[in-house]
Amino acid sequence: MATGYIHTVGRRKTAIASVRMIAAPKSSLTVNGKTPKEYFKTDLRALIAGEALETAKSVENYAVTAHVSGGGIAAQADAIRHAISRAVIKAEPSTRAVLKAATFLKRDPRAKERKKPGLVKARKAKQWSKR
């Protein structure tokens, strides 16, 4: 940790979150230069973004800066949680079991399936008419 911070990347659907975590006496979480409440506008999404630090009981120890792009706000919150989980494990390897049990380390690979030619959507076909 020669640079003084830990850098990790988290993903969900098409959202990508880049996180820098610094050991600091006063904790903070910023998302694209705003507080999680200002950025996500709902308490649930803001809670999901910072959930990894609370689960690892490391809330007071780190200042986290996240840059997120792509996807929707739900996927962005999950991508931030994924990136923070990876950063906490780099800083404190003993928290891996707790975060893994909470399923914060698995990258959720589900994404929208592409549209196929001749179909209306990915699998939906036009209604067949007998006459």
Look up the domain containing 20 and give its range.
6-101
Nearest CA to 51 among 12, 119, 102? 102
pLDDT at 35: 95
For residue 112, being part of any structural domain is answered with no
For residue 115, being part of any structural domain is answered with no
Q: Count how many domains the chain has.
A: 1
For residue 14, being part of any structural domain is answered with yes
- Give the mean pLDDT of the chain: 92
For residue 87, being part of any structural domain is answered with yes
For residue 128, being part of any structural domain is answered with no
How many CB atoms are located within 10 Å of the residue 94 CB? 8
For residue 120, being part of any structural domain is answered with no
C-alpha separations of 58 from 43, 61, 99, 102, 110 in Å: 20, 5, 12, 15, 29
Question: Can you tell me which residue has the tokens 């990894």?
Answer: 52
Q: Does residue 7 sit in helix, strand or coil?
A: strand
Could you tell me the CATH number of the domain that includes residue 58?
A: 3.30.230.10
pLDDT at 2: 53
Q: d(Cα 124, Cα 40) in Å, to the nearest integer?
A: 33
For residue 129, being part of any structural domain is answered with no
pLDDT at 1 over 80: no
pLDDT in tens, 7-64: 999 999 999 999 999 988 888 899 999 999 999 999 999 999 999 999 988 778 899 9
